[in-house]
Amino acid sequence: MITAVLLLSVLPKTLSVDIGQVVEGPMTVSVRDEGYSRVREVYVVSAPVAGRLMRVDSEAGDFVTVGDVVANILPTAPAFLDARSHSEAEAAERTAEAALGFARAGVERAVAQTAFAQAEEERIAQLFESDIASQGALDRVSMELRTAQANEHTARASVRMRTAELEAARARLIDPDDSEAFDLSHDVAAIRSPITGRILRVLQESESVVAPGTPILEMGNPADLEIVVELLSTDAVQVAQGGRVLIEDWGPQGEILRGRVRRVEPSGFLKVSALGVEEQRVNVVIDLIEAPEVWSSLGHGFRVEASIVVWEEDAVIQTPVSSLFRAGESWAVFVKADGRARIRPIEIGRSNGEQVQVLSGLMADDEILLYPGDSVSEGVRIKPRHDMN
């Protein structure tokens, strides 16, 4: 009995291990990241002039056609005047009234000069017909008449100018609350839709005073969507135009949309991740292949998950990533052979995170150890973990 116990204690132990299998089949390598949907052509409708924007009645989702009025802008009311500005405006009004009185006196003087020159011209003309006055005298009084008439026109123009200045001075004194003096409700600047589509967002809904160029609405065609994925620049360099894309986690459980890479933008941008890490990102723009009816519930700015295929083959020898370990400068696996673990150096290629391409060293249907630990070594006896015999 003692001899049997001693013999069992010195016999090599059999390790229970997880066994996997090398397979040959299709393999795909993808880069995956979050993205969002966006309308391909978004139109931002802005205020063309400064004024008082009336409350926007349009709502997000409303259908509009080209030329529909989507907002209205009225002229702004005059500004309130402080005591100093009000006194200056009153002084300007009095100055304009005095200037108008001076201009009117100039008109009276010019009218008198014109009448005198007219009478003088008629008298000299009669004397000229009687050969009493010379041609030179007649020409001189004719010129004086024309000069007087020109002075009269100038004086009348001065009256009109001074009248306008007086009106401008009085306009600066209009109180913003004087609705009768300031009623420009008929002067409306209508903002019209540039496209036929839907309103995506109302950026300025409430009535307010706006400056030229203030964004009011965003509109576009939700049936013309594209997907934008912000990839790390190290992943973006692997993506080629026309690459196959699978859009996941966008709506119905488990439903996947197909797409194609239309463009990898040539410039990147810096983005800070949720963990505070600065990352260099690149926008990859994807076209949806499915009919719009399939993704009709997808809208502008919705979150999606995109898997972009960067490499795929139909027949690839592959092994689970969990079977690999480093053996010196190369990769290796433990192969199950005659109930023992044997180290097998291999050469690997592509990896998708779960499976790795085997270029040499293994064949299809070879049995390999998964998650080999420190207890596994060359030649150790092994048995499948689920085999308890």
Given a cut of 50, is residue 389 above it in pLDDT?
no
- The answer on pLDDT for 50 being more than 80 is yes
Mean pLDDT of 383-389: 66
Considering the segment(s) 12-40+222-389 as one domain, its CATH architecture is Beta Barrel (2.40)
Quote the CA–CA distance of 95 and 88 in Å, as a whole number.
10
Q: Which two tokens stand for residue 127?
A: 């004397």
Q: Which two tokens mark 207?
A: 């009535």
- Range of lowest pLDDT (129-138, 257-266, 308-317): 129-138
Cα 247 from Cα 257, distance rounded (Å)? 5
Q: What is the DSSP letter of 67?
A: T
- How far is it, in rounded angstroms, from Cα 249 to Cα 253? 7
Q: pLDDT tens for residues 105-118? A: 988 998 989 898 88
Q: Range with the lowest mean pLDDT among 67-81, 151-165, 204-218, 277-291?
A: 67-81
CATH of domain 43-75+184-220: 2.40.50.100
Neighbours of 348 (CB within 10 A): 19
pLDDT at 5 over 80: no
Q: How confident is the model at residue 388 (pLDDT cuts 50, 70, 90)?
A: very low
pLDDT class of 249 with cuts at 50, 70, 90: confident
CA distances 271 to 30, 276, 343, Å, are 22, 9, 45
Confidence at 184, pLDDT banded by 50, 70, 90: low
Q: What is the DSSP letter of 352?
A: -
Strands 225-232 and 278-288: antiparallel
Which among 294, 287, 305, 290 is positioned nearest to 38, based on CA atoms? 287
Is residue 347's pLDDT more than 60? yes
pLDDT digits (tens, 9 = 90+) for 72-109: 998 877 777 788 888 888 888 899 889 889 889 988 99
Q: Over range 5-24, report the average pLDDT.
A: 72
Q: Which of 241, 230, 263 is nearest to 309 (CA)?
A: 241
Token pair recorded at residue 384: 């499948």
Residue 337's DSSP bridge partners are 340
Q: What is the pLDDT of residue 182?
A: 52
Question: Within a 10 A sphere around the Cβ of 63, how many other Cβ atoms?
Answer: 10
Q: Both tokens of residue 175?
A: 């109180």
The SS3 assignment for 214 reads coil
Q: Which two tokens stand for residue 273?
A: 């991740």
Going from the C-alpha of 194 to that of each of 44, 64, 74, 300, 367, the distances in angstroms are 10, 9, 20, 19, 66
DSSP 239-290: --TT-EEEEESSSSTT--EEEEEEEEEEEEEEEE-TTS-EEEEEEEEEEE-S
